[in-house]
Homo-oligomer: A and B are copies of this chain.
Amino acid sequence: MDQTQIVLELNTKLISIIEDYKKGISDIHPFDIAKDLQDLRDIEINEYKNICKKIPSDLFAQILVNMPTYIQEEITNIISEKKVAKVTSSMDSDDASMLIYNISQKDEDAAQTVLSKLNDEDKQIIEELNAYEEEQAGAFMQKELFSVNINETIDTALKRLKKEKDLNILHDIFHAFLTDDENNYLGSIGLEELILFERTQTFKELPKDIIEHYSFNDKEEIDEVVSMFTNYNLNALAIINSDNKLLGRVTHDDVRNLMQEQDTKQLYSLAGVSDKAEEEESIFKIGKNRAFWLSINLITAILASIVIGLFDATIQSLVALAVLMPIVASMGGNAGTQTLTVTVRQMALGSIEYDDAKKTIIKEVIISLVNGLLFAFVIGVIAYFWFNIPLLGIVIAISMIINLVSAGFFGAVIPLVLEKLDIDPAIGSTVILTTVTDIVGFFSFLGLATIILL
């Protein structure tokens, strides 16, 4: 099937979805429409614009939130600011504020133009959310929630819920958030409890033990919300301010995104990459950040070279040493990375705490000692047969044991110490570790060779 035909078919499919949607009979999830629209990106820009124009704003809002950020940005770039404003006002407040925030990062003027086209309420909410620091819980909350007054009847509240659901203001409702007349947060009641009571009752009359009291302060770090959801098995959480006023809520989908972001950050940090920098559109900015970690690696590599340089006379008299020396360093780096990765991850998952430090270090040293003995034997035999110098086999074997044991030890100690110092144990630990394993590897191998062989 050629390009034009694919475009044509997708186009027709989209148009029929849009028609169904307008009639209210579409059963396709916006995520799937978003995928189709992403596949269309290669077509001629004007044709693409035309399709975008045809999609009603409320559907477009749902489609956009199901797209990766960089495609969101591509699309908001090609549709009019008026349409972006319409789409934004159809979104949940957390998605809307994120969209405006992303636009403002690229083009502050465009963001202001869109904001100016919103009604006052929408504008105010977006400005409220975007006033938070990037890592504060308030920046992630959704203002739309089902709040109920403790004095009203269930029936009154449910009628309001029905109205707001029909208007597409509320969805994904799991709790009624209880407040008093001053909007003080009093706790939440799960719908699975609420549904069991007579509608004529007021919330005040309901038994106290069905009320949950979890909440989270808007100014605190969002990362802790993730542990609350995981530990207490939540699916939504009230966000309150320091005066206990109910401000919004965070839901399970936000938490899934946050978990993925945390894991991406951890993985990237261990590899010497910044998750924030990688999101930049400019290759230059991405490269610049990577160059930072490469610079640090260059320094440590030069340190290792200086160590080698100490033994230049030894190498001169036996070139086999130059041939074999990277093996010891490489095995140490690998074994250390294994230990480091497991330790960092288990600390992040809460399975290792600083109190378990001794146990963890002993375990890792034993593992690396056993593997050290194994690989010492293997490489010792290989070196012996390769260069026919028995003592060379012994030298490389001993240095392999030394380097693997120190790799296991430092692989566990480095993240534990960083954590103790309140430094993210994933950031920078790899480079510290490989500095150790390179230097110990080269020094022990060449040092032993100088003593034993010469």
**What residues make up the interface of A, taking CB atoms closer than 8 Å to B?**
24-25, 27, 29, 31, 66, 68, 70, 158, 161-162, 165, 171-174, 191-192, 194-196, 209, 213, 229-233, 235, 252-253, 255-256, 259-260, 263-264, 266-268, 270-273, 278, 283-284, 286-287, 290-291, 293-295, 297-298, 301-302, 304-305, 308-309, 312, 315-316, 319-327, 329-331, 334-335, 337-338, 340-342, 345, 349-351, 363, 366-367, 370-371, 374-375, 378-379, 382, 434, 438, 442
14 A-B residue pairs with Cβ-Cβ distance under 8 Å, sorted by A, are: A29-B231, A191-B192, A195-B195, A230-B253, A256-B259, A259-B263, A267-B341, A271-B338, A287-B367, A298-B379, A304-B327, A304-B330, A315-B319, A321-B322
Question: Is B267's CB under 8 angstroms from A345's CB?
Answer: yes
**Complex contact B367–A283 (CB within 8 A):** yes
Cα distance A340–B213 in the bound complex, in angstroms: 44
Establish whether residues B371 and A291, one from each chain, have CB atoms under 8 Å apart when the complex forms.
Answer: yes
CB distance from A247 to the nearest CB of B (A): 21
Complex Cα distance A225/B235, Å?
17
- Of all chain B residues, the one with the shortest Cβ separation from A318 is B316
Specify the main secondary structure of chain A where it touches its partner.
helix
Q: Ordered nearest first, which 7 A-B pairs have the shortest CB separation? A: A271-B341, A322-B322, A263-B263, A173-B192, A287-B367, A191-B191, A301-B330
Expressed in whole angstroms, the Cα–Cα distance for A332 and B230 within the complex equals 39
Our pick among B253, B260, B263 for the contact of A233 (Cβ within 8 Å) is B253
Chain B's closest residue to A27 (CB) is B213
* Chain B residue nearest in CB terms to A196: B162
Let me know if B374 and A291 touch, CB within 8 A: yes
Check A326–B309 contact: CB distance below 8 A.
Answer: no
Of the candidates B256, B270, B272, B379, which one forms a contact with A230 in the assembled complex, judged by CB atoms under 8 Å apart? B256
Please, which residue of chain B has its CB at the minimum distance from the CB of A256?
B230
Enumerate chain B residues within 8 angstroms of A194, measured Cβ to Cβ: 195
The minimal Cβ–Cβ distance linking A344 to chain B, given in whole angstroms, is 8
Distance between Cα atoms of A323 and B233 in the complex (Å): 56
- State the CA gap A260–B192 with chains docked (Å): 27
Q: How far is the CB of A44 from chain B (nearest CB, A)?
A: 18
Asked, given contacts A230-B256, A252-B252, A323-B309, whether A270 binds B272 with beta carbons under 8 Å apart, the answer is no
A188 to chain B minimum Cβ distance, whole angstroms, is 14
B271 engages A337 (CB within 8 Å):
yes
* Nearest B residue (CB) for A369: B287
Closest Cβ of chain B to A421, distance in Å, is 22
Task: Check B260–A349 contact: CB distance below 8 A.
Answer: yes
For A374, the chain B residues whose CB sits under 8 A away are 291
Q: Contacts A304-B326, A312-B323, A327-B302; is A68 near B367 (CB within 8 Å)?
A: no
A329 touches B331 (CB 8 A): no
In whole angstroms, how far apart are the Cα atoms of A324 and B283 in the complex?
30
- Taking a contact as CB atoms under 8 Å apart, the answer to whether B235 and A252 are in contact is yes
Q: Which B residues are CB-close (under 8 A) to A29?
A: 231-232
Q: Is the CB of B312 within 8 A of A319?
A: yes
Choose from B255, B272, B273, B342 the contact partner of A256 (Cβ within 8 Å).
Answer: B255
Q: Which residue of B lies closest to A39 (CB)?
A: B355
Q: Closest CB-CB distance, A336 to chain B, in whole Å?
A: 10
Q: Looking at the assembled complex, report how far the CB atom of A286 sits from the nearest CB atom of chain B, in whole angstroms.
A: 6
- A24–B322 CB distance below 8 A: no
Beta-carbon nearest neighbor of A351 in chain B: B68
- Whole-angstrom distance between the Cβ of A22 and the nearest chain B Cβ: 14
Q: Nearest B residue to A157 by beta-carbon distance?
A: B195
Measured CA separation A335–B272 after assembly (Å) = 9
Chain B residues with CB under 8 Å of A321's CB are 322
Tell me which residues across on chain B come within 8 A of A259, comparing CB atoms. 256, 259-260, 263
Could you say which of B31, B322, B337, B363 contacts A283, with CB atoms under 8 Å apart?
A: B363
